Amino acid sequence: MTRFSANLGFLWTDRPLPDAIHAAHAAGFAAVECHWPYETPASDVRAALDATGLPMLGLNTVRGQVGENGLAALHGRETEARAAIDQAIAYADAVDAQAIHVMAGFAKGEAARDTFETNLTYATAQTDRTILIEPLNRHDAPGYFLETTGQAHEIMSRVDAPNLKLMFDCYHVGRTEGDVMTRLGDLLPLIGHIQFAAVPDRGAPDHGELNYTAIFGHISSLGWTAPLGAEFKPRDPDAPLRWMQSQSLLA
Protein backbone atom coordinates (compact mmCIF):
# COMPACT_ATOMS: atom_id res chain seq x y z
CA MET A 1 0.00 0.00 0.00
CA THR A 2 1.34 3.43 -0.96
CA ARG A 3 2.05 5.71 1.99
CA PHE A 4 2.02 9.49 1.91
CA SER A 5 3.81 12.37 3.60
CA ALA A 6 1.95 15.65 4.17
CA ASN A 7 3.91 18.64 2.93
CA LEU A 8 3.04 21.26 5.52
CA GLY A 9 4.38 24.05 3.36
CA PHE A 10 1.09 23.74 1.43
CA LEU A 11 -1.24 21.71 3.66
CA TRP A 12 -2.88 23.09 6.83
CA THR A 13 -0.98 26.36 6.53
CA ASP A 14 -3.77 28.07 8.49
CA ARG A 15 -2.47 26.36 11.65
CA PRO A 16 0.73 26.56 13.69
CA LEU A 17 3.19 23.91 12.53
CA PRO A 18 2.73 21.61 15.56
CA ASP A 19 -1.05 21.69 15.03
CA ALA A 20 -0.56 20.93 11.34
CA ILE A 21 1.48 17.86 12.29
CA HIS A 22 -1.41 16.64 14.44
CA ALA A 23 -3.85 17.32 11.57
CA ALA A 24 -1.70 15.25 9.21
CA HIS A 25 -1.69 12.40 11.69
CA ALA A 26 -5.46 12.55 12.12
CA ALA A 27 -5.92 12.51 8.33
CA GLY A 28 -3.91 9.31 7.97
CA PHE A 29 -0.59 10.55 6.60
CA ALA A 30 2.41 8.37 7.44
CA ALA A 31 4.93 11.23 7.65
CA VAL A 32 5.30 14.98 7.32
CA GLU A 33 7.70 17.35 5.60
CA CYS A 34 7.93 21.13 5.53
CA HIS A 35 9.47 24.09 3.75
CA TRP A 36 10.83 26.68 6.19
CA PRO A 37 9.99 25.80 9.81
CA TYR A 38 12.49 28.16 11.42
CA GLU A 39 10.03 30.54 13.08
CA THR A 40 8.64 27.63 15.12
CA PRO A 41 10.81 26.45 18.02
CA ALA A 42 12.29 23.10 17.14
CA SER A 43 11.28 21.77 20.57
CA ASP A 44 7.60 22.40 19.73
CA VAL A 45 7.92 20.56 16.42
CA ARG A 46 9.77 17.68 18.04
CA ALA A 47 7.07 17.39 20.71
CA ALA A 48 4.36 17.13 18.03
CA LEU A 49 6.35 14.54 16.12
CA ASP A 50 6.90 12.50 19.27
CA ALA A 51 3.21 12.73 20.21
CA THR A 52 2.01 11.56 16.80
CA GLY A 53 4.82 9.16 15.97
CA LEU A 54 5.24 10.77 12.56
CA PRO A 55 8.73 11.15 11.08
CA MET A 56 9.80 14.47 9.57
CA LEU A 57 11.10 13.60 6.11
CA GLY A 58 12.65 16.91 5.18
CA LEU A 59 12.93 20.69 5.24
CA ASN A 60 14.42 23.40 3.02
CA THR A 61 17.27 25.84 3.41
CA VAL A 62 15.99 29.41 3.61
CA ARG A 63 15.20 31.32 0.43
CA GLY A 64 17.33 34.35 1.23
CA GLN A 65 16.16 37.91 0.73
CA VAL A 66 12.73 38.95 -0.55
CA GLY A 67 12.27 37.68 -4.10
CA GLU A 68 15.01 35.09 -3.86
CA ASN A 69 14.54 31.33 -4.02
CA GLY A 70 17.65 29.95 -2.41
CA LEU A 71 21.30 30.91 -2.10
CA ALA A 72 23.49 27.93 -2.94
CA ALA A 73 24.15 28.79 -6.61
CA LEU A 74 24.64 32.53 -6.06
CA HIS A 75 28.27 33.42 -6.74
CA GLY A 76 29.56 35.81 -4.10
CA ARG A 77 26.95 34.77 -1.52
CA GLU A 78 28.80 31.72 -0.25
CA THR A 79 28.94 32.90 3.36
CA GLU A 80 25.15 33.33 3.48
CA ALA A 81 24.58 30.04 1.65
CA ARG A 82 26.69 28.10 4.12
CA ALA A 83 25.02 29.82 7.07
CA ALA A 84 21.68 28.67 5.63
CA ILE A 85 23.00 25.13 5.29
CA ASP A 86 24.27 25.18 8.87
CA GLN A 87 20.91 26.50 10.08
CA ALA A 88 19.03 23.76 8.25
CA ILE A 89 21.30 21.02 9.56
CA ALA A 90 20.92 22.27 13.14
CA TYR A 91 17.13 22.34 12.86
CA ALA A 92 17.09 18.93 11.17
CA ASP A 93 19.19 17.52 14.00
CA ALA A 94 16.80 18.97 16.58
CA VAL A 95 13.67 17.47 14.99
CA ASP A 96 15.39 14.42 13.44
CA ALA A 97 14.45 15.40 9.89
CA GLN A 98 15.74 12.83 7.45
CA ALA A 99 16.74 15.17 4.62
CA ILE A 100 17.63 18.77 3.80
CA HIS A 101 16.74 20.36 0.48
CA VAL A 102 19.49 22.84 -0.43
CA MET A 103 17.82 25.48 -2.59
CA ALA A 104 19.90 26.76 -5.51
CA GLY A 105 18.31 30.13 -6.22
CA PHE A 106 18.02 32.26 -9.36
CA ALA A 107 21.29 32.14 -11.29
CA LYS A 108 22.87 30.85 -14.48
CA GLY A 109 26.25 30.15 -16.01
CA GLU A 110 29.45 28.38 -15.07
CA ALA A 111 30.11 30.48 -11.98
CA ALA A 112 26.69 29.54 -10.62
CA ARG A 113 27.30 25.87 -11.36
CA ASP A 114 30.70 25.91 -9.67
CA THR A 115 29.27 27.76 -6.66
CA PHE A 116 26.38 25.33 -6.33
CA GLU A 117 28.66 22.32 -6.50
CA THR A 118 31.09 23.80 -3.97
CA ASN A 119 28.25 24.54 -1.55
CA LEU A 120 26.81 21.05 -2.03
CA THR A 121 30.23 19.58 -1.27
CA TYR A 122 30.23 21.64 1.91
CA ALA A 123 26.69 20.53 2.85
CA THR A 124 27.30 16.82 2.31
CA ALA A 125 30.46 16.98 4.43
CA GLN A 126 28.68 18.58 7.41
CA THR A 127 26.08 15.86 8.00
CA ASP A 128 25.21 12.23 7.42
CA ARG A 129 21.63 13.27 6.66
CA THR A 130 20.49 13.20 3.06
CA ILE A 131 21.10 16.40 1.08
CA LEU A 132 18.51 16.88 -1.65
CA ILE A 133 18.52 19.00 -4.79
CA GLU A 134 15.34 19.60 -6.76
CA PRO A 135 14.83 20.84 -10.33
CA LEU A 136 12.02 23.43 -10.46
CA ASN A 137 9.96 23.96 -13.59
CA ARG A 138 10.55 27.07 -15.70
CA HIS A 139 6.88 28.09 -15.60
CA ASP A 140 6.67 28.48 -11.81
CA ALA A 141 10.29 29.45 -11.17
CA PRO A 142 11.73 31.12 -14.28
CA GLY A 143 15.44 31.68 -13.89
CA TYR A 144 15.93 29.04 -11.17
CA PHE A 145 19.38 27.55 -11.60
CA LEU A 146 18.40 23.87 -11.43
CA GLU A 147 15.82 23.18 -14.16
CA THR A 148 16.05 19.53 -15.24
CA THR A 149 16.78 16.08 -13.89
CA GLY A 150 19.58 15.74 -16.46
CA GLN A 151 21.28 18.85 -15.09
CA ALA A 152 20.85 17.51 -11.55
CA HIS A 153 22.37 14.17 -12.57
CA GLU A 154 25.47 15.90 -13.97
CA ILE A 155 25.92 17.96 -10.80
CA MET A 156 25.51 14.92 -8.58
CA SER A 157 28.09 13.01 -10.63
CA ARG A 158 30.64 15.80 -10.18
CA VAL A 159 30.01 16.31 -6.45
CA ASP A 160 30.09 12.53 -5.96
CA ALA A 161 28.83 12.39 -2.39
CA PRO A 162 26.87 9.35 -1.18
CA ASN A 163 24.37 11.45 0.77
CA LEU A 164 23.54 13.78 -2.15
CA LYS A 165 20.23 12.71 -3.70
CA LEU A 166 17.60 13.92 -6.15
CA MET A 167 14.24 15.24 -5.02
CA PHE A 168 12.02 13.93 -7.83
CA ASP A 169 8.85 16.02 -7.92
CA CYS A 170 6.45 14.48 -10.41
CA TYR A 171 4.76 17.87 -10.76
CA HIS A 172 7.93 19.75 -11.76
CA VAL A 173 9.16 16.94 -14.02
CA GLY A 174 5.72 16.65 -15.59
CA ARG A 175 5.64 20.34 -16.43
CA THR A 176 9.21 20.60 -17.75
CA GLU A 177 10.23 17.21 -19.10
CA GLY A 178 7.26 14.85 -19.26
CA ASP A 179 7.52 11.05 -19.47
CA VAL A 180 7.39 10.89 -15.69
CA MET A 181 7.23 7.13 -15.27
CA THR A 182 10.22 6.47 -17.54
CA ARG A 183 12.28 9.10 -15.75
CA LEU A 184 11.36 7.63 -12.37
CA GLY A 185 12.69 4.25 -13.46
CA ASP A 186 15.84 5.63 -15.05
CA LEU A 187 16.72 7.89 -12.12
CA LEU A 188 15.66 5.62 -9.25
CA PRO A 189 19.21 5.01 -7.92
CA LEU A 190 19.68 8.77 -7.54
CA ILE A 191 16.33 9.58 -5.90
CA GLY A 192 16.12 10.45 -2.21
CA HIS A 193 12.51 11.60 -2.08
CA ILE A 194 9.47 11.69 -4.39
CA GLN A 195 6.78 14.38 -4.39
CA PHE A 196 3.63 14.88 -6.44
CA ALA A 197 0.78 17.22 -7.37
CA ALA A 198 -1.61 17.60 -10.28
CA VAL A 199 -0.30 19.00 -13.55
CA PRO A 200 -0.65 21.81 -14.46
CA ASP A 201 -2.42 23.50 -11.52
CA ARG A 202 -0.52 21.87 -8.62
CA GLY A 203 -3.80 20.83 -7.01
CA ALA A 204 -4.70 17.50 -5.45
CA PRO A 205 -3.70 14.59 -7.70
CA ASP A 206 -7.29 13.57 -8.48
CA HIS A 207 -7.33 15.45 -11.81
CA GLY A 208 -5.01 16.88 -14.44
CA GLU A 209 -2.63 15.53 -17.04
CA LEU A 210 -0.93 12.86 -14.91
CA ASN A 211 -2.63 9.59 -14.00
CA TYR A 212 -1.49 9.20 -10.41
CA THR A 213 -3.17 5.84 -9.94
CA ALA A 214 -0.80 4.53 -12.61
CA ILE A 215 2.18 6.52 -11.32
CA PHE A 216 1.75 5.36 -7.72
CA GLY A 217 1.47 1.77 -8.94
CA HIS A 218 4.62 2.19 -11.03
CA ILE A 219 6.54 3.62 -8.08
CA SER A 220 5.53 0.62 -5.98
CA SER A 221 6.59 -1.75 -8.76
CA LEU A 222 10.04 -0.16 -8.69
CA GLY A 223 10.38 -1.25 -5.05
CA TRP A 224 10.00 2.23 -3.54
CA THR A 225 8.52 1.94 -0.04
CA ALA A 226 9.12 5.37 1.54
CA PRO A 227 6.18 7.79 1.88
CA LEU A 228 5.49 10.00 -1.14
CA GLY A 229 5.36 13.74 -0.53
CA ALA A 230 1.93 15.29 -1.04
CA GLU A 231 3.08 18.77 -2.05
CA PHE A 232 -0.15 20.03 -3.56
CA LYS A 233 -2.14 23.23 -3.10
CA PRO A 234 -5.55 22.33 -1.66
CA ARG A 235 -8.70 24.03 -2.91
CA ASP A 236 -9.87 24.45 0.70
CA PRO A 237 -8.64 23.48 4.19
CA ASP A 238 -10.50 20.14 4.15
CA ALA A 239 -9.16 19.02 0.77
CA PRO A 240 -6.19 17.02 2.17
CA LEU A 241 -8.51 15.03 4.42
CA ARG A 242 -10.93 14.28 1.58
CA TRP A 243 -8.11 13.22 -0.71
CA MET A 244 -6.66 10.88 1.90
CA GLN A 245 -10.11 9.40 2.50
CA SER A 246 -10.37 8.71 -1.25
CA GLN A 247 -7.03 6.91 -1.11
CA SER A 248 -8.28 4.74 1.73
CA LEU A 249 -11.28 3.75 -0.34
CA LEU A 250 -9.02 2.80 -3.26
CA ALA A 251 -6.54 0.81 -1.16
Known catalytic residues are 134, 231
Q: Which residues of 186-199 are buried (b: 16+ CB within 10 A; e: fewer)?
A: ebeeebbbbbbbbb
Q: Which residues of 168-180 are buried (b: 16+ CB within 10 A; e: fewer)?
A: bbbbbbbbbbeeb
d(CA 182, CA 25): 32
d(CA 96, CA 219): 26
d(CA 194, CA 34): 14
Q: End-to-end CA distance of the chain: give it in Å, rounded.
A: 7
List of E strands, 8-124: 31-33, 58-60, 99-101
Q: What share of the chain is helix, strand, coil (3-state, %, to 5)?
A: 45, 15, 40
Residue 227 DSSP symbol: P
Neighbours of 126 (CB within 10 A): 16
- Angle 78-95/42-52 helices, nearest 10 degrees? 40
